[in-house]
Amino acid sequence: MTEYLKQSLRESAKARWTAMVLVSLSAFGAYYFNYALSPVKPMLESALGWTSSDFGTYTASYALFNVYLFMLIFSGILLDKLGIRITGMASALMMLLGTAMNYWAIVTVFPEGSVVNIPLLGEIKSQVFYSSIGFGVFGVGTEASGVTLTKAIVRWFKGKELALAMGLQMSIARLGTALALAISLPLAMRYTYSSPILWALVLLFIGVIAFVMYIVLDLKLEASEREIEMDDEEPFRIKDILSIINNRGFWYIAILCVLFYSAVFPFLYYATDIMINKYQVSPKFAGLIPGLLPFGTIFLTPLFGSIYDKIGKGVTIMIIASVLLVIVHGLLAIPFLDNWIFAALMVVLLGIAFSLVPSAMWPAVPKIIPEKRLGTAYSVIFWIQNIGLMLIPLLLGFVLDATNPTVAGNKAFIKASVQQSYAQWIIHNNITVENDQMKRAVESTTSAIIDSIVQTSRYTASAHDEVDFDTMKVAIVNQNLAAGNNILLVDDADSNLQQFERAIVSETFKVVEANRLNVRYNYQADILIFVLLGLLSLVFAFLLKREDRIKGYGIEKPNMEG
């Protein structure tokens, strides 16, 4: 054993921390793309006609193949059989492929009303369907990568700074989440709604290169241990799965994982839209507030991991995090607390909770499951987690549309009125405009109108049956055309369109506000779902504490040996 400590490459701090950085970089792009379209939800609604249910279908598709085709389980088994290098490279390439498919679907113009019929689910918009397929393929690669990278960290850091290493790995990866929430919407507003996906492709390609570099380092580790006398390890067998699923402590961790993460990850999918609709934050800055959550975890997760390494109290940490989760979502659910500063403070507090759980949860698994079964154990946990990440976004989208039945239709009405205004104004002034120019102008104008109403107006919306849509549309078009007649036209089509856009935004805003048309989502019911998830996670954290006390797993004990 003394010879092993002297010769193994993992005993080199420089080597093992380099390994940690490389696997973290390979996850950075994945964490970015996972949330790249979340801040762009309002643009997808105004530009592409997506509903909240469509967005819920898209976000849920991340876990589609992992859950129904058991891809995560297979990934874990393959990881234990084929090793980190092969499984990790395959998952990195699959993430890249899924993102490329998603980009194609988003930029492709499908025929008006084009749908795909899915058994049991019914009709899904073609663009939503193919985007979801790409996101699902990406999800397979991401979750397989997550299992692989977790086992890679255990391989290099077991018996050492394991929780700290896992915390730092998550911190680097979550920089991608913070980046997505902060820049995706401004990037989409500056260029087009597909720009965040294009940027994700670049980051994921960099991730592939980083993992190739990790493979080189891992081969050196293997070579350094080739001549070392080590204890023989039994090969993985399928029946080992039974020993995992028969472990009650394992199930408590798995269920706690799915409940806790389902109260955080889906929240981030909708957080930017919540900031815009409830707290009336400008779309340019709305993503910065939820971006505080992953940014905070970048510093706190390694800190809490280091504390767990040295002091222990893993289950206690999970209980504290669950309590914070309930407090945050409970306060966010209070209707009259609608100041953006308050929202920012709640996000920071949620970030602290989110830092606590992974810093204790993932390092706890090796205390319950033998290392040769870790790939399968982590994959089963991730598979259960993916069930939540599939069902909760679907539920959130359905509930949001059900509790706000007129919002999506009203946004579509504004877009149709804007499109008619442009069409008549162009014909009246005999202006030549390319189809792409026209499309971009309508999308940009519609988004600007809706954003300005949501951000600045506090009127109580009229009941849907009280709105005379025909009269309202005539008023919008007539006022827009009247304002358009005062524009001094120039030879440049883009300049003319920009002038008319400013006129349309101003005039349409007046009509929509006068008729008190409802274009603001009320997220109250969705936030209460997050409160319930927090309460359930607290229950299972206490069950895990009892099980650890009975079985003596040592989850409350420090990770570092000696």
Name the pLDDT band for 325 (thresholds 50, 70, 90). Answer: very high
Q: What is the pLDDT of residues 282-320, one digit of tens each?
A: 887 888 888 887 766 767 777 777 788 788 788 899 999
User: What gap in Å lies between CA 255 and CA 400, rounded to an integer?
Assistant: 25
* Half-sphere exposure for 451 (CA within 13 Å, toward CB): 26
Do the Cβ atoms of 493 and 426 come closer than 8 Å?
A: no
Q: What is the pLDDT of residues 479-489, one digit of tens each?
A: 999 988 888 88
Q: Worst-scoring range by mean pLDDT, 112-126, 231-245, 257-271, 357-371?
A: 231-245
What are the two backbone dihedrals, phi and then psi, of residue 20, each rounded to the nearest 5 degrees?
Answer: -60, -45
Q: Where are the domains of the chain?
A: 2-225+248-404+522-551, 407-514
Q: Worst-scoring range by mean pLDDT, 5-9, 112-116, 285-289?
A: 5-9
pLDDT of residue 370: 77
Q: What angle do CA 509, 515, 517 make, to 5 degrees?
A: 75
User: What gap in Å lies between CA 107 and CA 124, rounded to an integer?
Assistant: 17
Which is more confident, 87 or 74? 87
pLDDT of residue 393: 87
Q: Which of 432, 550, 441, 459 is nearest to 505 (CA)?
A: 441
The mean of the pLDDT values for the chain is: 85
Burial class (CB in 10 A: 0-12, 13-18, 19+), 432: exposed
Tokens of 455: 């951000």
Q: Which of 334, 353, 355, 356 is nearest to 343 (CA)?
A: 334
Residue with tokens 């995090």: 321
Do the Cβ atoms of 284 and 186 come closer than 8 Å?
A: yes
CATH topology of domain 2-225+248-404+522-551: Growth Hormone; Chain: A; (1.20.1250)
Quick one: DSSP state of residue 226?
T
CA max distance for the chain: 88
* Half-sphere exposure for 371 (CA within 13 Å, toward CB): 14
Which amino acid is it at 412?
A: A
* Half-sphere exposure for 454 (CA within 13 Å, toward CB): 27
User: What gap in Å lies between CA 82 and CA 87, rounded to an integer?
Assistant: 7
What are the two backbone dihedrals, phi and then psi, of residue 306, each rounded to the nearest 5 degrees?
Answer: -65, -40
One DSSP character per residue, 24-54 reads HHHHHHHHHHHTTTSTTHHHHHHHH---HHH
Tokens of 176: 């991608």
Cα distances from 173 to residues 94, 125, 178, 217, in angstroms, run 18, 32, 9, 20
Q: Which of 42-51, 237-246, 481-490 has the highest mean pLDDT?
A: 481-490
Residue with tokens 């997505």: 180
Is residue 29 predicted with pLDDT exceeding 70?
A: yes
User: What gap in Å lies between CA 35 and CA 558, rounded to an integer?
Assistant: 34
Neighbours of 338 (CB within 10 A): 12
Is residue 400 predicted with pLDDT exceeding 70?
A: yes
Name the pLDDT band for 239 (thresholds 50, 70, 90). Answer: low
One DSSP character per residue, 243-298 reads HHHT-HHHHHHHHHHHHHHHTTHHHHHHHHHHHHHTT---HHHHTTTTTHHHHHHH
User: What gap in Å lies between CA 404 and CA 520, rounded to an integer?
Assistant: 8
Do the Cβ atoms of 196 and 36 come closer than 8 Å?
A: yes
pLDDT of residue 233: 47
Strand partners, 115: 125
* Mean predicted confidence (pLDDT) in 356-382: 78
Quick one: DSSP state of residue 118?
E
- How much is the pTM? 0.76
In this structure, what is the dihedral angle of CA atoms 459, 464, 470, 475, given to the nearest 10 degrees? 0
Is residue 360 predicted with pLDDT exceeding 90?
A: no
Tokens of 225: 């241990």
pLDDT of residue 152: 86
User: What gap in Å lies between CA 379 and CA 16, rounded to an integer?
Assistant: 23
pLDDT of residue 213: 92
User: What gap in Å lies between CA 453 and CA 513, rounded to an integer?
Assistant: 7
Quick one: DSSP state of residue 434?
-
One DSSP character per residue, 294-310 reads HHHHHHHHHHHHHHHHH
Do the Cβ atoms of 543 and 252 come closer than 8 Å?
A: yes
* Mean predicted confidence (pLDDT) in 491-520: 88
Quick one: DSSP state of residue 61?
G
* Mean predicted confidence (pLDDT) in 554-561: 78
